Amino acid sequence: MTLTAEAVPAVSEAEGFERILANLSLVQSEISGAVAEINPAQLALLAGELRGAGRVFVAGAGRSGLVLRMAAMRLMHLGLEVHIAGDTTTPAIRSGDVLLLASGSGTTSGVVRAAQTGSKAGARLAVYTANPASPLAELADVVVTIPAAQKTDHGSKLSAQYSGSLFEQALFLASEAVFQTLWDHDETPAEELWLRHANLE
């Protein structure tokens, strides 16, 4: 069934405002709850893997992959050599590299295949997932568990949001905390990091 403008119920300005306010509160509350449940020791281990990496590769699908691309940009700003799996200029992964992956279910086929390839090449694997018993987590050297509903778990009590949104939101905040921690250790002035910012935009 295709919805037309006539088929969508009209919402008054006041009712729309109240819905927006309620949903902002919902999203904020769910994110706060999920982030509070992330084990900081796991994040510290992941940060340590990145700090000791020869090169960092990131692999994720869909919205999780987009969040990892943002994380990759920040790591590049710190001066790390970072590559996105699947890009045409991405070199072969090897021993001494770290492969950073994200999948809420831990079963996303392309992400699991990337993990298998990275593991065979001798790279270290760092994984964000909502499913610590997943095939992806079993391959990992470091696992950060994000307590959020998986995208196909539509009846989950963990989140009222749609299809994995909470995982992706908490993933962003977790990756930002890792960046901030690495920067704390690095102590490079923001002005120097800015010199690495893209200038071909």
Query: Which stretches within the chain are classed as H helix?
Result: 13-36, 40-51, 62-77, 109-120, 135-139, 165-186, 190-194
Which candidate, 144, 116, 142, 118, places its Cα nearest to that of 131? 144
What is the 8-class DSSP label of residue 165? H
Count of positions (residues) in the chain: 201
- 128: helix, strand or coil: strand
* Active site (catalytic) residues: 168
DSSP assignment of 46-84: HHHHHHT-SSEEEEE-HHHHHHHHHHHHHHHHTT--EEE
142, 126 contact by CB (below 8 A) = yes
